[in-house]
């Protein structure tokens, strides 16, 4: 069992529900349809990966290096991907777009891809 994966999975799951409600109820009046869809994409990816972290936390042994790398890739990926989307959308809704966040989103996506790639490698090679 990996406690870090479980803790971050629970935190990301909790905040995904909060951000989803925030977007659906409070931001709906302030955001364009396109902005709301972007915000929802961040929430979906955050929740999907929160669930994956919880599953991995119960299944993986944290003494194995690749397992730690997978977990940290997902954690960093969620933070960079989803939270940069939240920042971009909210700042653009306030007409103060934080443009420096734009390049961070794909970097977060890259970390998520790396996490999935390492998980696939583990399944194919390690078994």
pTM: 0.93
Taking only the tens place, the pLDDT of each residue in 39-71 is 999 999 999 999 999 999 999 877 788 999 999
**pLDDT of 9:** 97
Mean pLDDT of 83-91: 95
Mean pLDDT of 76-97: 94
Contact indicator for 53, 6 with CB cutoff of 8 Å: yes
Structure token pair of residue 25: 């109820």
Q: Dihedrals φ, ψ of 16, to 5°?
A: -65, -40
Taking only the tens place, the pLDDT of each residue in 7-16 is 999 999 999 9
**Exposed / middle / buried, residue 69 (Cβ in 10 Å: 0-12, 13-18, 19+):** middle
Q: What percent of the residues of the chain are helix, what percent strand, and what percent coil, each to the nearest 5?
A: 85, 0, 15
**pLDDT of 127:** 65
Q: Dihedrals φ, ψ of 95, to 5°?
A: 60, 30
């Amino acid at each position: 069992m990996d406690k870090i994966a479980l803790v971050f999975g629970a935190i990301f799951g909790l905040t995904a529900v909060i951000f989803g409600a925030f977007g659906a109820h409070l931001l709906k009046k302030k955001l364009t349809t396109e902005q709301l869809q972007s915000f929802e994409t961040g929430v979906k990816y955050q929740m999907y990966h929160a669930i994956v972290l919880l599953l991995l936390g119960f299944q993986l042994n944290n003494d194995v290096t690749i397992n730690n790398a997978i977990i940290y890739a997902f954690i960093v990926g969620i933070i960079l991907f989803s939270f940069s989307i939240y920042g971009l959308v909210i700042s653009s809704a306030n007409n103060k777009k934080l443009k420096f966040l734009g390049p961070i989103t794909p970097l977060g996506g890259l970390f998520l891809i790396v996490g999935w790639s390492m998980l696939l490698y583990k399944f194919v090679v390690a078994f």
